[in-house]
Structures are given as structure tokens and as C-alpha cells.
Structure 1
Amino acid sequence: MNFNEFELHEDVLNAVDSMNYQQATPIQEQAIPYILQGKDLLACAQTGTGKTAAYLIPILDKIATVPTGQIGALILVPTRELAQQIDQQIQGLGYFVGATSIAVYGGNKGPEWDQQKRALTQGADIIIATPGRLIAHLQLGYVSFGSIRHLVLDEADRMLDMGFLSDILKIMSFLPAKRQTLMFSATMPPKIGELAKRILQKPEEVRLAVSRPAERIDQQFYMTTDEQKLPLLAHLLTQVTNTSMVLFTSRKSTVEPIVRALKKLGLDARGISSDSDQADREVVLRDFKNRAFPVLVATDVLSRGIDIDNLSHVVNYDVPRDPEDYVHRIGRTARAESKGTAITFINEHDQKYVLKIERLFEKEVEKQSITQDLGLGEAPKFDPGKFRNSAPRNKGTSGARKSQAPSSKKRRPKQKKDEKSPLQS
């Protein structure tokens, strides 16, 4: 479907053309008409389907048609990186409209706070905000949201996972009751449905099936204990050059231990999580995109809403509990017709989550056991029923702490001092 068929304002069509948008994606084709009609919407679509433009284009159309000079739209997002990314997209799409926007998020210095305050008091067309920082402004009493016509909850499932429900409800108490509310979520767990019932009025619903991972992704699953994960990874990368890899871990407490262990193995790595200082996060992300170092260790704060292309590898240090999160993680690689490799480690307690991935894919995935051949000790057997009711370990960093001491009499040969590590070539 061509964007001309939506009967958009001429300035918005010029913006769409300048951004080189050719045809509307499925989520845009289904969502834009409902939003233009002023209806509330619950939309489920995974990252990379064009959902941001699906709500920005009709909101900008309303701003172009009926400009107010006041805050017209509020977009709530789970992370500052996503806030920045949406702000940049508004700058492109809103250029011909003359729309103004600002990203409001924490972790920055005094001048940024003052800039946010001015935008919130003097009025920007669109505010993109993380809940915590926005509440900090609201509590000081100088913010008026009486002119808000559109509220967007982007990555709503991630915000609920991060514990933002009470913050979202508190922010909504400052908004006018008469407004359009749009919820966009990558997954549709029961809690999303419950929130939708509380905040949406007679909503339309759009659900796109989760896309299967690209066929170009070489998906590799390895049975391993926590202690075997990192030395196994070092082996898998021995023949790899020009690597750009993100290693995902589900626990932010494991990021730095994994980084330290990787460096001991000769792999240049840096880490990022929601606990990282904002300035540090921006430097690490910039350097990684510029190929200043090859391995980025991250929590799921990076699996959605972050534009990192051309990854050669994605490593799941642990198996995501939600199979759709698995799709989001490995979807960071094999973009733009390139090829990529996704490596997933399966310990005793993550086996039940592999079954969920298999149900989503409607097929059994091949699970390799090679640790014993490498002198790293025997790998766990895949027997999810055996571990179904067993409690997982409390500490997820054992692999990082013990990566150089696998439980086997055999030892991997030591690397010579003048020999490059697998990822330094």
C-alpha cells in the first residue's frame, strides 16, 4: 500500500518521501487508518516492522492539520536509547511539518534537565519520555499536560517487565481523560491485556504474527554448564575474523563479571546495562558501532529499539524465558540480506525455555554437545522434565568466575604471548 492512499497532509507526504519510505509495512497499513480516525489502538508487532512510523505518521498528520503550539503527544518508552531513537526519527519525519520534540530521560547533567524543563513548560509538539524522569518533572508542579491529544505506550510489555506499571498509571493521572491512547507491544502476555482494559476506550486491535528468524541466521544451540560457557565460546570463535558480536545475558549483575572473564580469555569486550551511566552507555554504543571493539555484553535493554546493524554474531549466554525475546535478540544479526550466527547456551535450568522456542518454531532445534571433546568436561543431557521443578542457581556469574577452570582433567593449550586472540584479527 502506498502512503498516498492514506490521504495524509501534504507536508507529511513530503516527509515520508524524503525518508525514502516506499510502501507501508503491514503494521503501518493496518494501524495508520485507525489512528487517523482517532480510535484507541492495541497493536502487537515485533521490533523492525516499522511500528514507530506507524504511530508517528498519523500523529504528525494531526499536528500538521491542527497545530496548537502546545504539547500534543506524549510517548512513553522503557529506555533512554529508545527515547533518543524516536526523537531522531521525529526530526526526520517532522521536518516539513515543523514539529518540535524532545526526549526526556534520566542520567544526564544539569543543562539537559533545564532543556527538558523548558520544553515541558513552553510546549513541544511531542514529548518522548522514560517514566521515571517524567515523574521527577511532574512532581515539581510546573508541567501541564492539559493539551495532550495522543498518548503512546511504546514497548509496553518491556515497560511492565521493568516495573513501570505504577509510574505509568501515575503519569496518566496528569493527562486529560479525553485523548487518544495507543499501546504498542512486541508480545501480548496477559498483563498487557489487563492494562489495555484499564486505559483504552473501545480499542481497535492489530496483531501481527511473530516473524520467524531470517533463514540467513545460522542458529546453533549448545548444551553446557555455566562453567563451560565462556571457554566454549572462545573455542567457537577461534576461526572467526572481523567479528561484531553482542552477548546477551538476562541478569545485569552478570554483565561486568562476563566482561572481565572475556578479557582474561583475550577477547576485547565492554558491557552495558540499565545500571550504566548514561554518558558511559552512549560512549560504549558509539565505539561498538564504530568497530572500536568486537564484543558487547548487554542485557535485554539492547534487544529492542536499538539500531545496531551488521552484527556477525549474537550470543545468548542464557536462554530467554520468552521465545519472542529470543527472536528479538537474534534478529540483531543477518540484516539487509547479510548472514549471521546465533549461538545459544543451554544449561540444566534453561531447558524448559528451549521447549517454548521449539513450540514457536513448530520444530525441534538441534542441540550440540561438544564440551567433552574439547576437554571441558561432560555437557548436561537435554532432559527438560528432569529439571522442571528444580530451583535455578541464585548466582548467574559462575560461568564468568570459573571460565578458566573447567571441570576436567584435560586443559586447553595456553595461548602464546605473541599470538593474537580470536577476535583481535
Structure 2
Amino acid sequence: MKFSELNLNDNVLEALDAMMFDECTPIQAEAIPIILENKDLIAVAQTGTGKTAAFLLPVLNKLSEGKHTPDKINTIIMSPTRELAQQIDKEMEGFGYFVSVSSVAIYGGNDGIAFAQQKKGLTLGADVVIATPGRLLSHLNLGYVDLSHVEHFILDEADRMLDMGFFEDIMQVVKCLPKERQTIMFSATMPSKIQKLASSILTNPEVIKLSVSKPAEKILQAAYVCFENQKLEIIRTLFNNEDAKKSVIFASSKLKVKEVARELAKMNLRVGEIHSDLDQKNREQMLQDFKSNNIDILVGTDIIARGIDIDDIGLVINYDVPNDSEDYVHRIGRTARANHEGIAITFISEKDQENFYEIERFLEKEIFKIPLPAELGNAPTYDPKNNSPRKQQYNKRPARNKNKN
């Protein structure tokens, strides 16, 4: 579908034409008409599907008509991280060049001057506020932010916000909003906690769920079947055999991230770590060091699975098997971007075999299992049906005595 087939006004279509946007992505084709009709919406779509334009364009379309209250905050877009807020703000600037709409980005990790500039934008009443939850709440608590005229409340990557512990912050902001508003929620996944949030803040929402796309063809996928205590030695072997590509390693918890990063540093590898214990300033500095090649390897939790937009990552390692297929696709999608090739390697311990088998079923193919280097010893057999935690728990039950009277 072309943008010209949607009910967008001439100002927005002119902006799209100048930016050489012609064809809608599937999420844009489905979401834009719903948002233009002022309906609440839950949209489940991956990063990279064009979702930012899917909510920006209809909001800009309404604002360009000039029917909103001037000098008041009309739209709030909340994002989980400073990096994503900056990306949204950048797209807003691109579209806003052709549509007379004011906006301000509100996020932490900067100095007092920036805070003062944010305060000025909020008190003057920017049409669109793009904010991280914690920083917006900081301004709200100081008493000078008026949200009584907000017509559109948008949560981008809502699942990440909940993963990062922002549920209470979101609900505090919601208490300051008018009950009569349009609420739009974008999420890459739809777990029960997202459904709970949606039922709390949305009214009779439309639901769009795009199927998870398969990984890019240029990603070479492979795996090691191994014991937990063999994983670090596999990494040592991988990086001893060739120069370290720019690499991302995903682990299941922040404690494991710290442990892996510490052990890689002992191997004299240039490594950094990102997890929720780091404040925004340190997370941003770590990402900048990674982008500028000051470090070669970045170890992190799923907090970065949809937050890194770097084109030259050559290798992704899943130190632990992700919980589901969607997380797997997001993780390995950090490589093979912008027509580059990439490698994704997953370490499969016994307890993770059933999860990985489900990922293979989703991919509709078997991932090649690389034999362990001989010096690391024997590997467990890849037998997902018998190595499932449920099966093992069942096998550990004491046998019932059928002859008991």
C-alpha cells in the first residue's frame, strides 16, 4: 500500500514525498488508519518494521490541522531508553521540517543546562514530548508540568519498559493524564504483564499483531551443545582463533553479564557490559565506546536486544538460550545489518535444549551444531525431548510402590 492511499493530509504527504517515502510497511498500513480514527491501539511489532512512523505520522497529521490547544502539551511518547528517545526525536525532526509542530525530548544522563532546556520546553507547552519515564516523572514531581490537555499517549517498546521496572513510573504519569485521551501501545512481545498494563490504561483497544519475521538470510546461524562450565572456554577458543570481530554477547541475567565480562577481561579482551545496574549516563558511554571501537565485545542482557542500532556487528553470541523465538530473532538481528554478513552462535546447555528445539521449530530448520574442541572434553547429547526440565523433574520422582498395602 502507498501512503497516498491513506487518509493523510497534503502537508504530511508532502513531507513523505520529500523524504522519498512511498510504500507503507505492514505495520504502518494497519496502524495509521486506526490511529487516525482516534481508537486506542495495541500493536505487536518488531523493531525495524517502521513502527515509529506508524505512530508519528497520524499524530502529526492531526496536529498539522491546528485544531489542538496551542501552547499546551498535546502528545506524550514514552520510550524505555535515552537512545530510543533520541531516535524518535530524530525522526520527529525529519517529519517536523515540513509540518509546523514543536517537540522536546526529555531524558536523563545529561547536565543541568539540558535539564533547564527540558523544563523550558515543558512549561512552554511543546506539541509533542518524547520522554523516558523516570526523567518525565522527575519534571512532573517538581510541579510545573501541565498534562491536562494531552490527547495522545504513546508507549513505545512497552515490554522493554516493564522489563526495566518502569511500571509504577508509567502509572504515575497516567494519573496526571485526562481520562478522555487516545492511548497507543507498541510492543515487540505480548506477555501477561503487557496485557495487564493494557487492561489498566487502554479503552476497547484495536489489536494488531504482526507475525515475527525470520532472521535475515545473511546471518550464519550455528550452536554449541555444551555443559555450563564449558561456555567460557568456548569463547576463549573463538577469540583465540581469529581477531575479535565487533561482537555482542547476550546473557540471561545481570549477574551473569557481570561474571562473563569479568572473565573476558581476564583474557585481555576489550570488553564492556550493559545491564540495568548501570545508570543512563554509563550505559550511553558504554554504547559510544562500542560504536567507536574502543571496546570490541559488549556483554548485556535483553535490555540491548532491541536497543543497539550499529551496522558493523559481526558476531552475536547467545551465552544462554533466549526464552522464546521472538527474543532469539531480536538478539541475532543485531548482526548482518545494512547488507553486511554476520554470525550468530548459541550455547545450548542441557537445561536449555527444549527451548532451543522450540526455536528451531519456529525457524523451520535445524541449526548446525559445531563439535566442541577436543580439549574441552565431551559434550552432552542433544536430546531436547529427554533433556527438558519437566522430563528430568519427572524422572527424579521416587518410584511408586505398587505392592504397598
After superposition, residues 123-202 of structure 1 pair within 5 angstroms as 123-202=125-204
- The Cα shift of 1:60 comes to 1.1
What does the per-residue CA deviation read over 1:288-318, in whole Å, with 9 as the maximum and x for residues that have no partner?
2233332122222211143111221111111
Q: Do the aligned partners of 2:311 and 2:340 also contact (CA within 8 Å) in 1?
A: no
Q: Which residue of 1 aligns with 2:220?
A: 218
Q: TM-score, normalised by structure 2?
A: 0.89
Structure-1 residue corresponding to 2:389: 388
**Which of 229, 232, 236 is matched with 1:230 structurally?**
232
Q: Percent identity?
A: 52
8 Å CA contact 2:7, 2:33 repeated in 1: no
Q: Are 2:308 and 2:334, in contact at CA under 8 Å, matched by a contact in 1? A: no
| Contact 1:272/1:297, CA 8 A, preserved across alignment | yes
Q: Match for residue 400 of structure 2?
A: none
Distance across 2 between alignment mates of 1:128 and 1:322 = 30
AA aligned opposite 2:11: D
Does the 8 Å contact 1:12/1:94 carry over to 2?
no
Instruction: Classify the secondary structure of the residue corresponding to 2:346.
Output: strand
C-alpha deviation, 1:133, in angstroms: 2.3
Q: 2:335 aligns with which of 333, 343, 347?
A: 333
Aligned to 1:142, the other structure's residue is in SS state coil
The runs of at least 4 aligned residues of structure 1 exceeding 6 Å deviation read none
Partner of 2:81: 79
Superposition pairs of residues 285-304 of structure 1, within 5 angstroms: 285-304=287-306
**Per-residue deviation, 1:383:** 4.0
Query: Letter of the aligned partner of 2:165 in structure 1?
Result: G
Alpha-carbon deviation of 1:54?
0.5
Deviations 1:197-231 (A, max 9, x none): 33222222211100011121111111223332222
For the Cα contact (< 8 Å) 1:3–1:23, is it kept in 2?
yes
Matched-pair contact (CA < 8 Å) for 1:85–1:306: no
CA RMSD of aligned residues (A): 2.2
Post-superposition Cα deviations, 1:105-144, rounded to whole Å, max 9, x if no partner, equal: 2333322322222222221121122222222222222211
- CA distances 1:327-349 after superposition (whole Å, capped 9, x unpaired): 10101111233211001111233
Aligned 8 A contact 1:108 1:278 in 2: no
Match of 2:326 in 1: 324
Which 5+ residue runs of structure 1 have no aligned equivalent?
Answer: 392-425
Report the AA paired with residue 358 of structure 1.
E
Q: Which residue of 2 aligns with 1:413?
A: none
Task: State the SS of the aligned residue for 1:202.
Answer: coil
The CA distance in 2 between the partners of 1:294 and 1:260, in whole Å, is 14
- Aligned counterpart, 1:410: none
Equivalent-residue separation in structure 1 for 2:191 and 2:5 (angstroms) = 33
CA distance in 1, matches of 2:244, 2:264: 17
| Cα-to-partner distance string for 1:142-174 (whole Å, 9 max, x where unaligned) | 211011110111111222233322322221111
Q: Who is 2:120 aligned against? A: 118
Give the paired residue count: 389
Q: Tell me the distance in 2 between the aligned counterparts of 1:383 and 1:167.
A: 44
Aligned to 1:399: none
CA contact (8 A) 2:44 2:187 kept: yes
Shift of 1:23: 1.4
Please give the TM-score of this superposition, normalised by the length of structure 1.
0.85
- Kindly indicate whether the alpha-carbon contact (under 8 Å) linking 1:42 and 1:183 is maintained by their aligned counterparts in 2: yes
Cα gap change, 1:365 to 1:79, in 2 (>3 Å): same
Structure 1: distance between partners of 2:39 and 2:100: 25
Output the CA distance in 2 between the equivalents of 1:341 and 1:201. Answer: 43
Q: Do the aligned residues in 1 keep the contact of 2:353 with 2:387 (CA within 8 Å)?
A: no
Q: 2:60 maps to what in 1?
A: 60
Q: Which runs of 5+ in 2 are unaligned?
A: 394-405
Where 1:359 maps in the other structure, the secondary structure is helix
Q: CA deviation at 1:18?
A: 3.7
- Match of 1:358, SS state, is helix
Asked whether the equivalents of residues 156 and 192 of structure 1 are also in contact (C-alpha less than 8 Å), the reply is: yes
Code of the residue aligned with 1:322 in structure 2: it is D
Of residues 244, 247, 252, the one that matches 1:245 is: 247
Q: Does residue 377 of structure 1 match 2:389?
A: no
| 1:242 Cα deviation after fit | 7.0
Partner Cα separation in structure 1 for residue 164 and residue 268 of structure 2: 34
Matched, 1:281 2:267: no
Which structure carries more helix by proportion?
2
Q: For the residues of structure 2 that align with 1:21 and 1:266, how far apart are their CA atoms?
A: 46
Q: Quickly say closer, same or farther: Cα 1:222–1:104, change in 2 above 3 A.
A: same
Conservation of the 8 A alpha-carbon contact between 1:255 and 1:273: yes
